[in-house]
Amino acid sequence: MDANEEIKDSIKRNEREQESFSDEDEAVHSVRFKRKRANGTSAGGAVATGRGSGLYLDTIQRYMLDFDFEKVCSVSLSNLNVYACLVCGKYFQGRGPSSHAYFHSLHENHHVYVNLSTLKVYILPDSYEVTDSSLDDIKYVLDPRFTPAQVQALDKNSGQSYDLNRKPYIPGFIGLNNVKANDYVSVVIQVLAHIPPIRNFFMLENLNNKSELVKRFSTLIRKVWNPAAFKGQVSPHELLQEISNASNRKFKLTEQGDPLAFLSWFLNTLHKDLGGSKKKNSSIIYSTFQGEVSIESQPIETNLPKGTELAFDANQDVAKTTSPFLFLALELPPPPLFHDELEKNIIPQIPLTTILSKYDGKTIQESVADLKRFQIIRLPNYIIFHIKRFSKNNFVEEKNPTIVTFPIKNLSMADFISDAEREKALGFHYDLLANITHEGDPATPNSTSYKVHIQHRAKEQWYQIQDLFVEEINAQMIFLSESYIQVWERKAGV
Ligand SMILES: [Zn+2]
């Protein structure tokens, strides 16, 4: 039985159990409750007797439950000691007499509550804890957990799941709700949730004592891969709220932003929050994405005659430095200026390897006062390309529409590394893992959108994801869109 099946099966068993106990026989119900030992003398003196709670458990309305939103009391807005009413889905603080949850139980006759941090379920207003395996599916949706074997199996499963509405969905390939204008964040989350070492780390590590940002990111990734979700979609609302806080509102969910700026901030913040330092491999972020590039530079001679081709002067010193990178910036040539109507329809194209030649150690780049040459000296296992499409011109954002063409598999980086022999053992061929594209005119921000292409490994099928929309796409269609950020995965030694 594969990992998906295992999880779904245990939850189905609970569903069946629940169906077979749907009559109102209290005696039968009480048998199903594992009595809690008398040491359960926590606040409220809770002891699970199960008396009558079976009836209450039947009042739970799973389709009303959505645990993706910020866990704050709907009345007090406090985030301390918050419970979800399992009948209407609303959040309330506390459970003692005079608490908001307590009043809700009296006024609305809603009696079953789950504590959103301990996952313990209580009957109110009586305030006793209920432990029953029929509640496991709810706890799982709230906080999906995976074993290492289940995570290892994720890329081998090609089965689909069904949500509460019997709608099919593919675990790992579900849409993220666009709360307001957060597609620039969602595409980045989708990409990171599919990079195996990143995904596996955030699904399996105990991150309890890490930052709120790390914890919420981990929960969201586990929800994206949940094979037993109530809804075949997830809202990234909780993580977005924390991104906004942690970035001092630099990245908001109400305003379109730049996925590259977000990715850069997010990777660096996660690295820091996970205890990473300047050393290589000091966090899962660095050990996955960090490479190193060498930079040679020489001042530009000022008194050269006009039209002289720029070249390094062999008689002058060359300054050499190295610099770590998390992504590589690739420049596009300026788009040709068209003169007649006919030519207007021609969209320029350029091969990825041509723009990568910036890193061949020979191509000369002109910066403000220097000539520069770049070459990669250490390749990361996952290489991120930033295709520089956007430029500001008189404060108006302009986009270069050039299409970048590339092979989806087996991209060779051999020509862009300083020591091909050394990298050979690790491999210098890469397969495309994810492709973020931009659509629309950046000068009118409300008309633009970001999409992402990601491959399902077991099915070898590419998907296009835009907010909640997930659809199959032909691999040949991928390079027809305006790629903005790409992630490539190193193939084992070639
Ligand atoms: Zn309620």
Beta-bridged to residue 205, according to DSSP, are: none
* pLDDT computed for residue 347 by the predictor: 83
Phi (first) and psi of residue 141, to 5 degrees: -65, -35
How many whole angstroms separate alpha carbon 440 and alpha carbon 333? 20
Q: Compute, in angstroms, the gap from residue 220 CA to the centroid of ligand 1.
A: 25
Q: Compute, in angstroms, the gap from residue 70 CA to the centroid of ligand 1.
A: 17
Q: Compute, in angstroms, the gap from residue 92 CA to the centroid of ligand 1.
A: 9
Q: Compute, in angstroms, the gap from residue 98 CA to the centroid of ligand 1.
A: 16
Domain ranges of the chain: 3-141, 291-325+327-490
Q: Compute, in angstroms, the gap from residue 110 CA to the centroid of ligand 1.
A: 5
* pLDDT computed for residue 116 by the predictor: 96
* pLDDT computed for residue 192 by the predictor: 98
Per-residue pLDDT in tens (0 to 9) along the chain, 494 residues? 555 666 666 655 554 444 433 333 333 233 233 333 333 333 344 445 445 566 799 999 999 998 998 899 999 999 999 999 999 999 999 999 999 999 999 999 999 999 999 999 999 999 999 999 999 999 999 999 999 999 999 999 888 999 999 999 999 999 999 888 889 999 999 999 999 999 999 999 999 999 999 999 999 999 999 999 999 999 999 999 999 999 999 998 888 889 999 999 999 999 999 999 999 999 999 999 999 999 999 998 777 777 777 788 888 889 999 999 999 999 999 887 765 555 556 788 999 999 999 999 999 988 888 999 999 999 999 999 999 999 877 667 788 989 999 999 999 999 999 887 777 778 899 999 999 999 888 777 677 889 999 999 999 999 999 999 999 999 988 988 899 999 999 998 65
* pLDDT computed for residue 158 by the predictor: 85
Matching CATH topology for 3-141 and 291-325+327-490? no
Q: Compute, in angstroms, the gap from residue 431 CA to the centroid of ligand 1.
A: 50
Residue type, 271: H
* pLDDT computed for residue 2 by the predictor: 57
Q: Compute, in angstroms, the gap from residue 166 CA to the centroid of ligand 1.
A: 25
Task: Confirm or reject CATH 3.90.70.10 for domain 291-325+327-490, answering yes or no.
Answer: yes
Q: Compute, in angstroms, the gap from residue 90 CA to the centroid of ligand 1.
A: 6
* pLDDT computed for residue 248 by the predictor: 95
Question: Selecting from 3.30.40.10, 3.50.50.60, 3.40.50.10190, 3.40.50.720, what CATH number does the domain 3-141 have?
Answer: 3.30.40.10
Q: Compute, in angstroms, the gap from residue 137 CA to the centroid of ligand 1.
A: 19
* pLDDT computed for residue 366 by the predictor: 86
Q: Compute, in angstroms, the gap from residue 84 CA to the centroid of ligand 1.
A: 8
Of 50, 51, 54, the residue nearest 24 (C-alpha)? 54
Phi (first) and psi of residue 299, to 5 degrees: -65, 145
Q: Compute, in angstroms, the gap from residue 89 CA to the centroid of ligand 1.
A: 6
